[in-house]
Amino acid sequence: MSLIALLIAAAPPAAPDPYAATRSRYNACLAVAKSDPDRAVAMAQGWRIEGGGVPARHCLGLAQAARGDTAGALLSLETAAGEARAAGSALALLLWQAAAEIAADAGKPDRALADADAALAIAGDDRTAAPLHIVRAQALVDLKRDADAMAELDDALHGDPDVPWGWLLKATLARRTGDLAGAETAILEAGKRTPDSPEVQYEAGNIAAARGHFDLARQAWTAAASDGESVAGRAAAKALADTPAAPASAPAATPLAPPPSPATPPPQ
């Protein structure tokens, strides 16, 4: 599922004040944003002009993001966040977080950091702050501030050990910075939480290859490549094509991540 689809599916949390009177209209706008973002933009713009306030801008921002208008989406979401904050609504946190995630995904790290910082200022507790530290880490990697990014990942995992992508991102960053022992520890944690994830299996293969365990790398990449629709699955398939099979006499290595569950269909 894409980032925008996840944001649409997750927004907003149950029963915040600005949405109570317009819940059905807001939900209808989001439903259209999934299938026809251009139409949803027009709907949300009309609603905004009518005085739709934060809910209208929220839907507008997600619809703009869905059609690739990152600049428009960020302006809409940040404006909505400011209005929500002025009204004392906790929705400001959600809106700034959405803006930060979209900015990071669009390769705008400075904007992502600013929006994440605005959200962190009102996060309230470490668990709520955890996904914001993840966004900050992504932005800091883009700015080539790897040590700062690792510190953000540590903060995220301290606040919520199960925060989505936390262990996987830590494993990837550790591998890229040469800490293969740390990468192996982190990918094992990621594998405990999402053993069937092609992203986790692909990174497990990358770490195994970096440690010289090419037989194990191919096992992990084969598992990832079974999901040919995902970016990680396609990357794993390419890695398999580029990496020769280990000799039959090569010793077996201990898996870095659990294999896919028995319910996962084998590759055809």
Note whether 167 and 125 are same-domain residues: no
How far is residue 34's CA from residue 240's CA, in Å, rounded to a whole number? 35
Note whether 152 and 169 are same-domain residues: no
How far is residue 132's CA from residue 126's CA, in Å, rounded to a whole number? 10
How far is residue 33's CA from residue 60's CA, in Å, rounded to a whole number? 9
Domain that holds residue 125: 90-161
Note whether 142 and 190 are same-domain residues: no
- Tally of domains in the chain: 2
**Does residue 233 contact residue 227 with C-beta atoms inside 8 Å?**
yes
How far is residue 45's CA from residue 186's CA, in Å, rounded to a whole number? 45
pLDDT value of position 268: 34
Rounded to the nearest integer, the mean pLDDT of the chain is 88
Residue 260 counted as domain residue: no
Mean pLDDT of 219-245: 95
Residue 100 counted as domain residue: yes
Q: 2 falls in which pLDDT band (50, 70, 90)?
A: low
Residue 190 counted as domain residue: yes
Look up residue 141 and give its two tokens.
């990697």
Residue 224 counted as domain residue: yes
Considering the entire predicted model, what is its pTM? 0.83
pLDDT value of position 208: 98
pLDDT value of position 252: 47
Cis peptide before 259 (omega within 30 of 0): no
pLDDT value of position 262: 37
